[in-house]
Amino acid sequence: MVDITHKSNSLRKAIASAIVSVSKLETIEAIQHKRIPKGDIFEFSRVAGLFAVKKTSELIPDCHPLPIEYTQISHEIKGLDILIHVEVHTIYKTGVEVEAMHGASVVALTIYDMLKPIDKGVEIKNIRLESKKGGKSDTNENYDHLNAAIIVCSDSVSKGLAEDKSGMMAKSKLEKFGLNIKYRETIPDDFDTIQKRVKSLSDAHDLILFVGGTGLGPYDLTPDAIKPLIEKEIPGIIETARQYGQQRISTAMLSRGVAGFIGKALVITTPGSPNGTKETIDALFPAVLHVFKIREGQRH
């Protein structure tokens, strides 16, 4: 199965459809007047579809087990066609489009099975996904107009005694969202140097990512230097990053990150370890980039 442990829960929705076509009007009349020998095809197929949605991961090898929190199954007769719609919701790390399509297919198969004694020309067709919502499909936007800077705060890296793995990690991940990395530098863990760099970059960049110095060590000064300069703090950014990290490592609670606007720039701090940097970016991006649309006057 595909690894989804790096993803965050979000509301996911999917709607799938299918069509069952009969060969004669008498079949439709039998359905409408509840004269099908095997019973009410709508009630039986609805129950079968509910079971199918919930059991998708047991039958489709690469589907993850997930909590099904809402399912609606509806039928509509149009001419000689029975139109089936299945809507599924969950709050989880991956979508429910396969669950919706599996439900639609089993609803159709159940109807086929119940109608075949009286109509040998029944046909199933057009099982398809009508729509999906949640995850990447909601944030598939272009951010190539945003300029970003990455500043790594580390005495050892700035002196050439350690490799800048975290800075490279941050650059690689931010570029995947289309951001222009216009400036990248490693500086010592120094209060005045950190403040000077923020002030010099805040008017020319949309995003400034400070990597390192968010812990409790004697030289972890990044939040202390940045917080007094923040003009509009956004606590939810760091709350989200910390909660995400806490679900993966118990010591994430000790991170002292800060985030907010300084000038035109959104400034975000991340832990200095490569894994801490990766997890912070995974937790926040690309959703956090919505702040720039709000800044430009768009509503939430």
Q: How many angstroms separate the CA atoms of 208 and 150, rounded? A: 6
3-class SS of residue 234: coil
CA dist 182 and 160 (Å) reads: 22
Q: How many CA atoms lie within 13 A of 6 on its CB side?
A: 13
Pairing of strands 147-153, 180-187: parallel
DSSP string across 142-206 = --TT-EEEEEEE-HHHHTTSS--HHHHHHHHHHHTTT-EEEEEEEE-S-HHHHHHHHHHHTTT-S
Catalytic residue at 3? Answer: no
User: Hey, what are 203's tokens?
Assistant: 């008017």
Structure tokens given for 6: 């790096």
- Spatial distance between the Cα atoms of 163 and 165, rounded to a whole number of angstroms: 6
Cα–Cα dist 239/104, whole Å: 39
CB 269 within 8 A of CB 223: yes
In terms of C-beta distances under 8 Å and separation of at least 24 residues, what long-range contacts does 155-163 make, across chains too? 155/188, 155/189, 155/219, 157/186, 158/186, 158/187, 158/188, 159/188
Distances (CA, A) of 233 to 214, 258, 260, 268, 298: 16, 8, 4, 10, 19
Q: Which one of the listed residues 81, 113, 138, 155 is annotated catalytic?
A: 113
Name the residues annotated as catalytic. Answer: 113
